[in-house]
Amino acid sequence: MQGKAWLLNKNDLEKISLYDREKDEVVVSAEKDDFEQADLDAIDEFLAQGESNQDDWTYRKLARQLFISVSEANQSAKRAIAAGLLTSRGRRGIRVNRPALVDFIRYGAGIAFFTERGSIVRGIPTAYAAPVFNQVFASSSGYPPVWPCARGTMKGVAISPLYKSVSKAVMIDSWLYRQLALVDIYRTGSAREREEALAFLNDLKGAK
């Protein structure tokens, strides 16, 4: 099984490998393989469909791709509208308030979604260690930040994802993976890393 989360470029897919506890000294603390068969089937189906059409969203489609319930998707959108991160346009749908979102990520993500670094685990690389960024930022001699995941491919320091289903959602959506890794730079990165990531963050203002 291959996931688009691991794209280094359009033609380069890195396999998602099942963690073998007997061949690796890393113990994923309290992390079980929570990918149910239904999740794996959904991932296979999404990958077979190719890139999703993000211009035709429904709450049901959004919920399915994020591995959350329809009510969670609906309530999340309502909270984001109330907070000013989304704008409701009635029958014309919902629009992202990009300037507000960029400012929130830059100045508020590290406070609203504060997380402490955990133990050394098997996981999915995030922040500066994500494939899309690991050639941009200077390599560190320490362990990279990862989202704990029994199906991850990298050993690193545990960083709590924004939501429990992130490890599933990023396996089918390379764009989402890039943005969540970018948010983690502003949640956990140094001042230098946040400054270097500013160009990527500002790209969101003009994203389609």
Residues ≥6 apart with Cβ < 8 Å to 104: 85, 112
Which residue stretches of the chain are H helix?
37-49, 59-66, 70-83, 98-112, 166-169, 174-188, 191-196, 198-203
Is the pLDDT assigned to residue 17 strictly greater than 50? no
With CA atoms as reference, report the closest residue to 185 among 171, 170, 173, 201: 201
pLDDT at res. 18: 43
Is the pLDDT assigned to residue 78 strictly greater than 90? yes
What one-character-per-residue DSSP string does 137-196 give? Answer: SPP-SSPPEEEE-TT-SEEEEE---SSTTHHHHTTT-HHHHHHHHHHHHHHH--HHHHHH
Is the pLDDT assigned to residue 90 strictly greater than 90? no
User: What would the pLDDT profile of 126-176 be if each residue is shown by its tens digit?
Assistant: 999 998 887 777 666 688 899 988 778 788 999 999 999 998 888 888 889
Residue recorded with tokens 């320091």: 157
What's this model's pTM, rounded to 2 decimal places? Answer: 0.78
Is the pLDDT assigned to residue 181 strictly greater than 90? yes
pLDDT at res. 15: 36
